[in-house]
Amino acid sequence: MELKPFRITRRRFLASSAATVATSGLYQVAPASGSSLAAARGPSRVIIDTDPGVDDALALLLAMRSPELKIEAITPVAGNVPLELTLPNALRMVEISGRTDIPVAAGAAGPLMRRLVTAAYAHGENGLGGAVFPEPKIRPVAEPAANLIREIVRKYPGEVTLLPIGPLTNIATALNLDSELAAMVRGIVMMGGSLSGGNITPAAEFNIYVDPEAARIVFQSGIPITMVGLDATRKTSLTEEHVRVLEVAQNPVSQAAAKIARNSINLNRERGFLVGPNMHDSLAVAGFLDPSLLTLKEYYVDVETIGELTAGETLGYSPRAGDLKRKSGTEKQDLNMSIRGSAPTLASTRISPVLRDRFVPNAKVAVDVDSPRFFDRLIGRLSGNK
C-alpha cells in the first residue's frame, strides 16, 4: 500500500478531535484514587519513546516493573543527550530490568528541522547523572523507530497508547510516514510542555523546545493527548529519603535506580539547587497507570514554532479559564469561540488568522499532582515493595 504524508486540515482536525473526545478511554472520568486505568481493562499495549536521561531511566524502570503494561517497544530518540548515548542507556535499563523480550529500536538522531540541543548540564555527560554501568550486551532491532511504531500500531489498531517522554521527533516521523496512522493510535500520554513557563527558556519546556515542529504535528494530529508537563512535574522533587529506600532494597532495579538518583541529586547540589531533580518522565508513566494521581483540565494546545524568544512554547486555550470564564448556563457558547493568531502588521494586508473557528480541546493537561501518592507508587515499584 502506498503511504501518503500526514497533513491535517482544519475540517479533519475538528472532526477527529470531537470524535476522540467522545470515544477515547483517556477522556473518560479518571478512576477513583488508588485504582488503575490499565487494571480496569487488562494490560495496556504501549510504546515508550524516550531520551534517557535520568528521569527517563527511572520512568523506564517503573514501566518495566508495572504488570499493567504490555510494552511493545522502546524507541530512543536524541534529546537529553545524543542518540549514541540514549540508545545504549535504554538498552541498559532493559537488561537491568530483565526485560530483554522488549524490542528497542533506534530513533531520530536530530530534530525534524533544527540542530540538536541537549541537556547534559542537567543529566551529566552520559545522560545518567554520571552513574556508570557496563556496556549493554543486547542490541537494538534493525527496524528504525518510526517504522516500528507504525508497524505495531497497524498490527493492533485502536489498542496502542504512545508514551513519549522525550522530544516528539520519532512520533511525528511515524505520522508523516502514514496518513492513516493517527486514527489507529489509542492515545498519547506524554511528558512535555507547560502552561506556566519553561525550563530551557522562560517560555519553553525542554522536550518541546528541542523539536517544536514535531510537537506541533503531534498536537494537531487529532490523537487524544494527555499532556503531563511542568505544571505538575515541578512538584515531584526526588529526596534523600527516596534514595535511601531504594538503596536499602536488594534487587537490581532498585540498586540501579538508587545509583542514578544518588548521582543526579549530587549533580543538582553541585549546580546550586536546593531540591530535585524532578521526576518529570516517571510522572507521565505513573499518570497513565493511575490518572487519579493527576488533576486534568481540557485545553486546546498548540505549539509556537516561529517566535525568536518563544519557540517551543505550548499555548493552552480554554474559554473556561482566566478572564474567559462564563456564567452558569452559558457554557455551551464556548464551542463558538474562535482561536486566533497574531494581529496583522501595518505593512500587511492580511487579517488575523483564525487557527480554529470553534473551541475543540485536543488535550487533557495535568495542572496538579498528588505527589505523595506518586512517590509511593514510584519508589514502591522500583524498590520491589509494591
For the segment 299-354, what is each residue's pLDDT rounded down to a tens digit? 999 999 999 999 999 999 988 776 656 666 665 655 667 888 888 888 888 888 88
Sequence-ordered list of residues with C-beta below 8 angstroms from that of 9, at least 6 positions apart, any chain: none
| Cα–Cα distance list, 274 to 205, 235, 277 (Å) | 21, 14, 10
343's grid cell? 494581529
Report the pLDDT value the prediction gives residue 340, as an integer from 0 to 100.
81
In this prediction, residue 90 has a pLDDT band, given cuts at 50, 70 and 90, of: very high
pLDDT-above-90 percentage for the chain: 73
pLDDT of residue 359: 84
Percentage of residues of the chain with pLDDT beyond 70: 85
Dihedral angle computed from the Cα positions of residues 12, 169, 54 and 118, in that order, rounded to the nearest 10 degrees: -130
- Judge contact between 97 and 253, C-beta under 8 A: yes
Catalytic residue among 242, 280, 297, 381: 280
Q: What is the pLDDT of residue 378?
A: 98
pLDDT of residue 326: 63
The CA-based angle 204-90-64, given to 5 degrees, is 100
* pLDDT tens digits, one per residue of 199-221: 999 999 999 999 999 999 999 99
Q: Establish whether the linkage from the previous residue to 53 is cis, with ω within 30° of 0.
A: yes
Measured in degrees and rounded to the nearest 5, phi and psi for residue 182 equal: -55, -40
Distance CA 190, CA 225 (A): 7
pLDDT score recorded for residue 386: 64
For the chain, what is the radius of gyration of the CA atoms? Answer: 20
Do residues 51 and 78 make contact, with C-beta atoms less than 8 angstroms apart?
A: yes
Asked if the model's pLDDT at residue 102 lies above 90, the reply is yes
CA distance 189 to 48: 10
Q: Answer whether residue 21 shows pLDDT above 80.
A: no
Specify whether the CB–CB gap between 264 and 54 falls below 8 A. Answer: yes
Per-residue pLDDT tens digits for 355-375 = 888 888 999 999 999 999 999
pLDDT for residue 8 = 44
Alpha-carbon torsion angle 214, 17, 24, 105, nearest 10:
-20
Residue 13: what pLDDT?
40
Place of cell 503511504: 3
Instruction: Please tell me whether the overall predicted TM-score, pTM, comes out greater than 0.85 for this model.
Output: yes
Give the separation between CA 22 and CA 40, rounded to whole angstroms: 19
123 is an active site residue: no
Which of left, alpha, beta for 35 (phi over 0: left; psi -120 to 50: alpha)? Answer: beta
